[in-house]
Structure 1
Amino acid sequence: MTEKMTMGNMQMIPIELIDVLNPRDRNKRVFDEIVANIQMIGLKKPITVTPRIGADGITRYLLICGEGRMKAFRSLGETGIPALVVDVDDENALIMSLTENIARRHYRPLELLAGIQLLYGQGYDKKTIAKKTGLCVEYVQGILTLLKKGEERLLVAVEQGRIPLNAALSIVGAGDDDKSIQLALQEAYESGELRGKQLTQARRVIERRQTLGAAVTKGVKRKVQDVTTSSLVKTYQKEVDRQQMVVKKSQQTQQRLLFVVSALRELLADENFTTLLRAEGLDSLPKYLSERVFSGDRSL
């Protein structure tokens, strides 16, 4: 792919002759801000276009970047807009448009992911993509790994800041085994990567990933299977197995709590231990444990 590009020159281009190369949807509030800004202080940065000869022989222009500014101009009743006209081929025009969108401060998650994927598909390696987009190499490598595995649900969660990239990669590395996934979550928690709200978000993403799949593509209808006696029995058995697993986990949790309560009773019976706790300001317990430790009730 050629990287050559003729230096651009400023021209006033009729808006009706501009075709959008890489259209983007915008939040109405953001668009209104663009319009108000241009109305108040004018166009601070020209749009970028590249010329193309149409089938009728008339020169038209592909918009590389500045769609919001162009639409704002049109909404203000303007028929022309200042533009930097550059001479690039279709491939470079698309790449320039993508990198412009990716480098923006505010972007939609899937927009960023699609941009990185397309750049990679055009033959750019992770270092070049990182350089063009302003992202770090490790981040681009992580995103490409998730893209190759089709983990759209995790990708969106990462881009929305719900879970860290490293945690998402750990979840993928655990495969589909529930025990391995839970272990990956535990390790992420212990390392400090997942705490509080992020840990809750990660669990939700994993549940949806296991239930609905890794992809988040909209508009794809799942095949509806015919209901048969066999399928009903299988569904029932699957639900029974799930319920049994829940009961088993609750019993395990209860046994662990009983052990904790018993151990605390023995420790708190040791005067030296309680003196040490008071000295360190650790002489209180959560209400739930306190009621059971000091009441002598061995049931939970």
Structure 2
Amino acid sequence: MKKEPPSSNLQMIPIDKIEVLNSRDRNGKVFAEIVGNIKDIGLKKPITVTPRTDADGNEKFMLICGEGRLNAFKSLGETTIPAMVVDVSDEDAFIMSLAENIARRQGRTLELLAGIEKLRDQGYDKKAIALKTGLGEDYVYGILQLLKNGEERLLIAVEKGRIPLNAALTIAGAGSNDKDIQAALQEAYESGQLRGNHLIQARKVIEKRRSLGRTIARGTPRKVPDVTSSSLVRTYQKEVERQKLMVKKAEFAQQRLLFVVEAMRHLLADENFTNLLRAEGLETLPKHIAERVWPGGSTT
């Protein structure tokens, strides 16, 4: 039997009585647009809250949906906000909040993926999560598999549409062995999962996954590899090659500059050419060039 939606009614709720149930960070530009829209045309859609009682017996409300609108009202100095009040349990309120954020799919990728993970941790299977969020069962199953293996880089690539989910699962199944990963790429290519730009993006993700790890570091420093004599030699050789390349580039730039300076000297020695430049208002040179063309440093 399909569960009936909770009954609700519209009320003006004091903002200081509302607590945020499932807070998330927001893009500053998007938030500014929300504030501007509310200031210009008012609140088009009320927030959703559920009533509760605090330890002292006072009435309060838990926010289910509409944190951006609530914060916008606060920034505009409002003390009350229109809200749909629904009477649901703590668990249902939490699930409604997560499902709303996931279904809108406008938050940061990791937040949306974390929402699916929280639904799983609440005991919901792939079918229930798909029903609550509007996502396909196969998609939810694939995401849960990648979450289980800590494949954040692959997850983000899938969510942003850079690589197909099936290809990400194939790569994840190869583990960290380069040979197995290349075999997985070949398999994905031959099966048609990875072609064109998807193949290019997959290689980029695999390279980052190999060098930076499967997860996205958020404030946690990566482990510094042990220093050995061979690693020091390799680092030294790379630095030598880098400096040699810089010297070559500098010499090339200097040669081109000398060529330009010498060419300008010959051209400016031609009275007809200088008269033409004056007629066009181009008789001056950049200081850096003029100091080399004319030893006295004149720019005219």
TM over 0.5: yes
Say if 1:13 and 1:83, in contact at 8 Å, map to a contact too. yes
Q: For 1:11, what is the secondary structure of its paired residue?
A: strand
**SS of 2:51 mapped into structure 1:** strand
Aligned length: 235
The alpha-carbon deviation at position 207 of structure 1 amounts to 1.3
Deviation at 1:152, TM superposition (A): 1.2
Q: Which residue is equivalent to 1:163? A: 163
- 1:173 aligned partner: 173
Match of 1:291 in 2: none
Task: Report the alpha carbon displacement of residue 83 of structure 1 after superposing the two structures with TM.
Answer: 0.7
SS state of the match for residue 50, structure 2?
strand
Q: Give me the whole-angstrom Cα distance separating, in 2, the residues matched to 1:182 and 1:26.
A: 38
Deviations 1:57-106 (A, max 9, x none): 32111111001111122222221001111222222211111000000042
**Whole-Å Cα distance in 2 between the matches of residues 232 and 61 of structure 1?**
63
Structure 1 residue 12, shift from structure 2 partner: 0.5
Secondary structure, counterpart of 1:214 in structure 2:
coil
1:223 Cα offset (Å):
4.2
Which residue of structure 2 lines up, in the alignment, with residue 208 of structure 1? 208
For 1:117 and 1:6, the matched residues in 2 are separated by 25
Secondary structure of the corresponding residue to residue 157 of structure 1: helix
- State the distance in 2 between where 1:164 and 1:236 align: 41
TM-score by length of 2: 0.71
8 Å CA contact 1:12–1:81 kept in 2: the answer is: yes
The letter for the 1-side match of 2:155 is L
In structure 1, how many angstroms separate the alpha carbons of the residues matched to 2:131 and 2:191?
30
Letter in 2 for 1:94: F
Q: Structure 1: how far apart are the matches of 2:61 and 2:229?
A: 60
Aligned to 2:229: 232
Given that 1:5 and 1:88 are in contact with CA atoms closer than 8 Å, whether structure 2 keeps it comes out as: no
Q: Which amino acid aligns with 2:158?
A: V
Partner of residue 153, structure 1 = 153
Cα displacement string for residues 137-190 of structure 1 (whole angstroms, at most 9, x for unaligned residues): 010010011111111111111112221111101101222221221122123233
SS in 1 for 2:49: strand
> Aligned in 2, Cα 1:5/1:137: closer, same or farther, shift over 3 Å?
closer
* Structure 1 residues 17-96: aligned runs within 5 Å: 17-96=17-96
**CA–CA separation in structure 1 for the residues paired with 2:226 and 2:111:** 37
Deviation at 1:130, TM superposition (A): 0.4
| Identical counterparts, % of pairs | 66
What residue number does 2:242 align with? none
- Amino acid of the structure 2 residue aligned with 1:21: L
Compared CA separation, residues 72 and 152, structure 1 to 2 (3 A):
same
How far 1:9 sits from its partner (Å)?
1.9
Structure 2 residues not aligned, in runs of 5+: 238-300
Structure 1: unaligned runs, 5 residues or longer = 241-300
Name the CA distance, whole Å, in 2 between partners of 1:176 and 1:8.
51
3-state SS in 2 of match to 1:99? helix
Cα shift at 1:16: 1.2
Counterpart contact for 2:105–2:112, Cα < 8 Å: no
Alpha carbons of structure 1 residues 87 and 4: separation in structure 2 relative to 1, 3 Å: farther
Please identify runs of 4+ aligned residues in structure 1 that moved more than 6 A: 234-237
RMSD across aligned positions (CA):
2.5
Aligned to 2:253: none
